[in-house]
Copies of this chain bind each other. A is one copy, B any other.
Amino acid sequence: MELFFLGTGSGVPSKDRNVSSLVLRLLEERGTTWIFDCGEATQHQILNTNIRPRRIEKIFITHLHGDHIYGLPGLLSSRSFQGGETAVTIYGPIGLKSYIDISLQVSGTKLKYPLHIKEIFEEGTLFEDDACIVEVIKLQHGLESYGYLIKEKDKLGELLPERLKELGITPGPIYQQIKQQEETQLNDGQVIFRKNVIGPAKKGRKVAILGDTRYIPSLKEKLIGTDVLVHEATFAGDEEEMAYDYYHSTVKQAATLAKYSEVGELILTHLSSRYHGDAIKQLEAEAKAIFENTTLAFDFYQHKVMQK
Protein backbone atom coordinates (compact mmCIF):
# COMPACT_ATOMS: atom_id res chain seq x y z
CA MET A 1 0.00 0.00 0.00
CA GLU A 2 1.70 3.05 -1.27
CA LEU A 3 0.71 6.64 -2.06
CA PHE A 4 2.07 8.13 -5.28
CA PHE A 5 1.39 11.84 -5.74
CA LEU A 6 0.96 12.86 -9.38
CA GLY A 7 -0.28 16.43 -8.91
CA THR A 8 0.18 18.49 -5.75
CA GLY A 9 -0.67 22.02 -6.88
CA SER A 10 -3.90 23.98 -6.61
CA GLY A 11 -6.14 25.69 -9.15
CA VAL A 12 -3.91 25.88 -12.22
CA PRO A 13 -0.93 23.81 -13.30
CA SER A 14 2.53 25.32 -12.86
CA LYS A 15 5.92 24.12 -14.01
CA ASP A 16 6.56 22.78 -10.50
CA ARG A 17 3.26 21.18 -9.64
CA ASN A 18 0.48 19.73 -11.71
CA VAL A 19 -3.16 19.94 -10.66
CA SER A 20 -4.54 17.30 -8.29
CA SER A 21 -4.13 13.59 -8.59
CA LEU A 22 -3.06 10.97 -6.10
CA VAL A 23 -2.59 7.28 -6.74
CA LEU A 24 -3.04 4.60 -4.08
CA ARG A 25 -1.14 1.55 -5.23
CA LEU A 26 -2.60 -1.68 -3.95
CA LEU A 27 -0.43 -3.97 -6.03
CA GLU A 28 0.44 -6.39 -3.22
CA GLU A 29 -2.99 -6.17 -1.64
CA ARG A 30 -5.20 -6.58 -4.71
CA GLY A 31 -3.06 -6.16 -7.81
CA THR A 32 -4.76 -2.90 -8.67
CA THR A 33 -4.42 0.84 -8.51
CA TRP A 34 -6.87 3.41 -7.18
CA ILE A 35 -6.81 7.05 -8.17
CA PHE A 36 -8.02 10.00 -6.12
CA ASP A 37 -8.87 13.01 -8.30
CA CYS A 38 -7.75 13.36 -11.86
CA GLY A 39 -6.77 16.89 -12.88
CA GLU A 40 -5.78 17.69 -16.47
CA ALA A 41 -2.63 15.91 -17.68
CA THR A 42 -2.81 13.16 -15.06
CA GLN A 43 -2.24 10.72 -17.93
CA HIS A 44 0.80 12.78 -18.95
CA GLN A 45 2.21 12.51 -15.43
CA ILE A 46 1.62 8.76 -15.53
CA LEU A 47 3.82 8.58 -18.66
CA ASN A 48 6.74 9.46 -16.39
CA THR A 49 6.03 6.66 -13.91
CA ASN A 50 5.75 2.89 -13.86
CA ILE A 51 2.01 3.13 -13.17
CA ARG A 52 0.03 1.06 -15.66
CA PRO A 53 -3.37 2.48 -16.58
CA ARG A 54 -4.76 -0.98 -17.26
CA ARG A 55 -4.38 -1.74 -13.53
CA ILE A 56 -6.72 1.08 -12.54
CA GLU A 57 -9.71 -0.41 -10.72
CA LYS A 58 -11.36 2.57 -9.03
CA ILE A 59 -11.26 6.33 -9.31
CA PHE A 60 -12.53 8.50 -6.46
CA ILE A 61 -13.32 12.15 -7.16
CA THR A 62 -13.40 14.45 -4.12
CA HIS A 63 -15.18 17.35 -5.87
CA LEU A 64 -15.88 18.61 -9.35
CA HIS A 65 -13.59 21.64 -9.61
CA GLY A 66 -11.78 21.55 -12.94
CA ASP A 67 -8.36 21.05 -11.38
CA HIS A 68 -9.65 17.74 -9.97
CA ILE A 69 -11.55 16.30 -12.95
CA TYR A 70 -10.42 17.69 -16.32
CA GLY A 71 -7.99 14.80 -16.81
CA LEU A 72 -10.70 12.13 -16.57
CA PRO A 73 -11.92 11.89 -20.18
CA GLY A 74 -8.38 11.65 -21.52
CA LEU A 75 -7.27 9.06 -18.99
CA LEU A 76 -10.33 6.90 -19.59
CA SER A 77 -9.95 7.11 -23.39
CA SER A 78 -6.24 6.40 -23.43
CA ARG A 79 -6.69 3.42 -21.11
CA SER A 80 -9.05 1.96 -23.70
CA PHE A 81 -6.76 2.81 -26.61
CA GLN A 82 -3.89 1.09 -24.80
CA GLY A 83 -5.85 -2.11 -24.36
CA GLY A 84 -7.31 -1.80 -20.85
CA GLU A 85 -10.13 -4.36 -20.59
CA THR A 86 -11.07 -4.68 -16.92
CA ALA A 87 -13.94 -2.66 -15.46
CA VAL A 88 -13.38 0.72 -13.84
CA THR A 89 -15.67 2.25 -11.22
CA ILE A 90 -15.69 6.00 -10.61
CA TYR A 91 -17.15 7.53 -7.47
CA GLY A 92 -17.87 11.23 -7.06
CA PRO A 93 -20.37 14.04 -6.52
CA ILE A 94 -23.58 14.46 -8.48
CA GLY A 95 -22.84 15.91 -11.92
CA LEU A 96 -19.86 13.65 -12.51
CA LYS A 97 -21.83 11.28 -14.70
CA SER A 98 -23.15 13.92 -17.08
CA TYR A 99 -19.66 15.39 -17.43
CA ILE A 100 -18.08 12.05 -18.29
CA ASP A 101 -20.95 10.93 -20.49
CA ILE A 102 -20.96 14.13 -22.59
CA SER A 103 -17.17 14.17 -22.89
CA LEU A 104 -17.03 10.62 -24.18
CA GLN A 105 -20.12 11.02 -26.33
CA VAL A 106 -19.24 14.19 -28.26
CA SER A 107 -15.76 12.83 -28.93
CA GLY A 108 -17.18 9.60 -30.31
CA THR A 109 -15.30 7.57 -27.70
CA LYS A 110 -16.36 3.97 -27.18
CA LEU A 111 -14.50 2.43 -24.26
CA LYS A 112 -13.48 -1.18 -24.64
CA TYR A 113 -14.05 -1.86 -20.95
CA PRO A 114 -17.09 -1.50 -18.66
CA LEU A 115 -17.26 1.87 -16.92
CA HIS A 116 -19.43 2.33 -13.84
CA ILE A 117 -20.07 5.80 -12.48
CA LYS A 118 -21.49 5.98 -8.97
CA GLU A 119 -22.60 9.36 -7.78
CA ILE A 120 -22.51 10.01 -4.06
CA PHE A 121 -25.65 11.15 -2.29
CA GLU A 122 -24.69 10.92 1.37
CA GLU A 123 -22.02 10.05 3.89
CA GLY A 124 -21.47 6.40 4.71
CA THR A 125 -20.01 3.22 3.31
CA LEU A 126 -19.21 3.53 -0.36
CA PHE A 127 -17.65 0.17 -0.99
CA GLU A 128 -16.85 -2.95 0.98
CA ASP A 129 -15.37 -6.34 0.26
CA ASP A 130 -13.46 -9.03 2.17
CA ALA A 131 -10.32 -6.97 2.30
CA CYS A 132 -11.35 -3.39 2.84
CA ILE A 133 -14.00 -0.79 3.32
CA VAL A 134 -14.21 2.73 1.95
CA GLU A 135 -16.27 5.36 3.71
CA VAL A 136 -17.09 8.81 2.44
CA ILE A 137 -17.41 11.92 4.61
CA LYS A 138 -18.59 15.43 3.78
CA LEU A 139 -16.24 18.38 3.84
CA GLN A 140 -16.81 22.13 3.49
CA HIS A 141 -15.92 23.64 0.13
CA GLY A 142 -17.39 25.90 -2.58
CA LEU A 143 -18.79 22.79 -4.26
CA GLU A 144 -19.88 19.56 -2.56
CA SER A 145 -16.55 18.02 -1.51
CA TYR A 146 -15.77 14.65 0.04
CA GLY A 147 -13.11 12.83 1.96
CA TYR A 148 -12.46 9.11 1.55
CA LEU A 149 -11.52 6.84 4.45
CA ILE A 150 -9.91 3.64 3.25
CA LYS A 151 -9.73 0.91 5.87
CA GLU A 152 -8.10 -2.45 5.45
CA LYS A 153 -9.94 -5.10 7.42
CA ASP A 154 -8.04 -6.73 10.23
CA LYS A 155 -6.51 -9.97 9.10
CA LEU A 156 -6.54 -13.26 11.06
CA GLY A 157 -3.28 -14.01 12.81
CA GLU A 158 -1.05 -16.86 11.68
CA LEU A 159 -1.69 -20.44 12.82
CA LEU A 160 0.70 -21.45 15.61
CA PRO A 161 2.28 -24.77 14.50
CA GLU A 162 3.75 -25.48 17.95
CA ARG A 163 0.32 -25.25 19.53
CA LEU A 164 -1.17 -27.52 16.85
CA LYS A 165 1.56 -30.11 17.34
CA GLU A 166 0.94 -30.08 21.10
CA LEU A 167 -2.62 -31.04 20.26
CA GLY A 168 -1.29 -33.89 18.11
CA ILE A 169 -2.36 -32.42 14.79
CA THR A 170 0.18 -33.01 12.01
CA PRO A 171 0.56 -30.55 9.12
CA GLY A 172 -1.82 -31.09 6.17
CA PRO A 173 -4.93 -29.70 4.50
CA ILE A 174 -6.60 -29.70 7.92
CA TYR A 175 -4.50 -26.66 8.87
CA GLN A 176 -6.23 -24.54 6.22
CA GLN A 177 -9.61 -25.75 7.48
CA ILE A 178 -8.78 -24.87 11.06
CA LYS A 179 -7.82 -21.37 9.97
CA GLN A 180 -11.00 -20.83 7.96
CA GLN A 181 -13.52 -21.93 10.58
CA GLU A 182 -14.09 -20.83 14.13
CA GLU A 183 -14.23 -24.46 15.23
CA THR A 184 -13.21 -27.63 13.49
CA GLN A 185 -14.09 -31.20 14.50
CA LEU A 186 -11.30 -33.68 13.83
CA ASN A 187 -11.84 -37.31 12.77
CA ASP A 188 -11.13 -38.47 16.34
CA GLY A 189 -13.98 -36.31 17.62
CA GLN A 190 -11.71 -33.65 19.11
CA VAL A 191 -12.96 -30.04 18.54
CA ILE A 192 -10.34 -27.36 17.83
CA PHE A 193 -11.23 -23.76 18.56
CA ARG A 194 -9.36 -21.45 16.18
CA LYS A 195 -8.81 -18.78 18.81
CA ASN A 196 -6.65 -21.22 20.76
CA VAL A 197 -4.25 -22.04 17.92
CA ILE A 198 -3.82 -18.68 16.22
CA GLY A 199 -1.55 -15.68 16.82
CA PRO A 200 -2.69 -12.06 17.23
CA ALA A 201 -4.80 -10.48 14.45
CA LYS A 202 -2.96 -8.25 12.01
CA LYS A 203 -4.56 -4.84 12.26
CA GLY A 204 -5.54 -3.25 8.95
CA ARG A 205 -4.26 0.18 8.01
CA LYS A 206 -6.42 3.27 7.62
CA VAL A 207 -5.76 6.05 5.16
CA ALA A 208 -7.79 9.26 4.97
CA ILE A 209 -7.68 11.21 1.72
CA LEU A 210 -9.58 14.45 1.94
CA GLY A 211 -10.62 16.80 -0.84
CA ASP A 212 -10.49 20.58 -0.71
CA THR A 213 -11.97 21.84 2.55
CA ARG A 214 -12.13 24.46 5.20
CA TYR A 215 -10.73 23.44 8.57
CA ILE A 216 -13.29 21.19 10.30
CA PRO A 217 -12.23 20.42 13.92
CA SER A 218 -15.05 17.90 14.33
CA LEU A 219 -13.49 15.64 11.71
CA LYS A 220 -11.27 14.27 14.44
CA GLU A 221 -13.92 11.72 15.49
CA LYS A 222 -14.00 10.30 11.98
CA LEU A 223 -10.23 10.21 11.76
CA ILE A 224 -9.78 8.00 14.83
CA GLY A 225 -7.25 5.30 14.10
CA THR A 226 -5.95 6.90 10.91
CA ASP A 227 -2.42 5.90 10.00
CA VAL A 228 -1.91 8.40 7.18
CA LEU A 229 -3.93 11.56 6.66
CA VAL A 230 -3.67 13.37 3.31
CA HIS A 231 -4.95 16.92 3.76
CA GLU A 232 -4.97 20.00 1.59
CA ALA A 233 -2.90 23.01 2.64
CA THR A 234 -3.58 25.72 0.12
CA PHE A 235 -2.43 28.59 2.33
CA ALA A 236 0.33 29.51 4.78
CA GLY A 237 -0.35 29.44 8.51
CA ASP A 238 -1.27 33.10 8.88
CA GLU A 239 -3.79 33.17 6.03
CA GLU A 240 -6.73 31.87 8.05
CA GLU A 241 -9.15 34.49 6.78
CA MET A 242 -8.20 33.91 3.16
CA ALA A 243 -8.50 30.16 3.68
CA TYR A 244 -11.96 30.59 5.16
CA ASP A 245 -13.13 32.91 2.37
CA TYR A 246 -11.91 30.56 -0.35
CA TYR A 247 -13.05 27.36 1.41
CA HIS A 248 -9.53 26.06 1.95
CA SER A 249 -7.22 25.27 4.86
CA THR A 250 -3.91 26.62 6.10
CA VAL A 251 -0.95 24.35 6.88
CA LYS A 252 -1.43 25.11 10.57
CA GLN A 253 -5.06 24.07 10.49
CA ALA A 254 -4.22 20.80 8.75
CA ALA A 255 -1.48 20.11 11.29
CA THR A 256 -3.80 20.93 14.17
CA LEU A 257 -6.39 18.49 12.89
CA ALA A 258 -3.69 15.81 12.55
CA LYS A 259 -2.55 16.46 16.12
CA TYR A 260 -5.98 16.29 17.73
CA SER A 261 -6.97 13.28 15.64
CA GLU A 262 -3.80 11.51 16.74
CA VAL A 263 -3.12 10.24 13.23
CA GLY A 264 0.15 8.48 12.52
CA GLU A 265 1.37 10.73 9.74
CA LEU A 266 0.20 13.83 7.91
CA ILE A 267 0.91 14.53 4.25
CA LEU A 268 0.08 17.99 2.94
CA THR A 269 -0.82 18.61 -0.69
CA HIS A 270 -2.77 21.06 -2.92
CA LEU A 271 -0.20 23.80 -2.36
CA SER A 272 -0.70 27.19 -3.95
CA SER A 273 1.71 28.06 -6.76
CA ARG A 274 2.53 31.27 -4.87
CA TYR A 275 4.86 29.23 -2.65
CA HIS A 276 8.28 28.20 -3.97
CA GLY A 277 11.63 27.10 -2.59
CA ASP A 278 12.19 28.65 0.83
CA ALA A 279 8.52 29.48 1.23
CA ILE A 280 7.77 25.77 0.95
CA LYS A 281 10.32 25.02 3.68
CA GLN A 282 8.64 27.67 5.82
CA LEU A 283 5.26 25.94 5.34
CA GLU A 284 6.80 22.65 6.38
CA ALA A 285 8.30 24.22 9.51
CA GLU A 286 4.94 25.74 10.45
CA ALA A 287 3.25 22.36 10.18
CA LYS A 288 5.97 20.43 12.02
CA ALA A 289 5.90 22.86 14.94
CA ILE A 290 2.35 21.61 15.53
CA PHE A 291 2.55 18.03 14.26
CA GLU A 292 6.06 16.65 13.89
CA ASN A 293 5.26 13.72 11.60
CA THR A 294 4.33 15.90 8.63
CA THR A 295 5.50 15.69 5.01
CA LEU A 296 4.84 18.20 2.23
CA ALA A 297 4.09 16.29 -0.93
CA PHE A 298 5.58 17.15 -4.31
CA ASP A 299 4.84 15.75 -7.77
CA PHE A 300 6.03 12.12 -8.02
CA TYR A 301 6.48 11.79 -4.25
CA GLN A 302 5.97 8.17 -3.14
CA HIS A 303 5.09 7.16 0.40
CA LYS A 304 4.62 3.70 1.88
CA VAL A 305 1.61 3.45 4.20
CA MET A 306 2.75 2.09 7.56
CA GLN A 307 0.87 1.14 10.70
CA LYS A 308 1.21 4.00 13.17
Contacts and interface: CB of A to CB of B under 8 A. Distances in A.
Given A78-B12, A102-B99, A107 B47 contact: no
B66 A74 contact: yes
A14 B107 CA distance: 20
Contacts of A143: 107-108
A101 B4 CA distance: 32
Nearest to A14: B47
A273 to B, nearest CB: 10
Contact of A64 (B40, B77, B95, B106): B106
Residue with the highest number of chain B CB atoms closer than 10 Å, among A47, A82, A98, A102: A102
A71 interface: yes
Interface in A15-69: 15, 18, 40-41, 43-44, 47-48, 64-66, 69
B12 A81 contact: yes
A99 B108 contact: no
B81 A11 contact: yes
Nearest to A48: B15
A81 B10 CA distance: 12
A142 B109 CA distance: 11
A109 B66 CA distance: 8
Contacts of A41: 40-41, 44
Interface in A84-132: 95-96, 98-99, 102-103, 105-109
25 contacts: A12-B77, A12-B78, A12-B81, A12-B82, A13-B44, A13-B47, A13-B74, A15-B47, A40-B40, A40-B71, A64-B106, A65-B107, A65-B108, A66-B109, A69-B106, A69-B107, A70-B74, A70-B77, A70-B103, A95-B105, A95-B106, A98-B106, A99-B102, A102-B102, A108-B143
Given A12-B43, A15-B48, 4 more contacts: A70-B74, A99-B106, A99-B107, A108-B143
Interface of A: 11-15, 18, 40-41, 43-44, 47-48, 64-66, 69-71, 73-74, 77-78, 81-82, 95-96, 98-99, 102-103, 105-109, 142-143
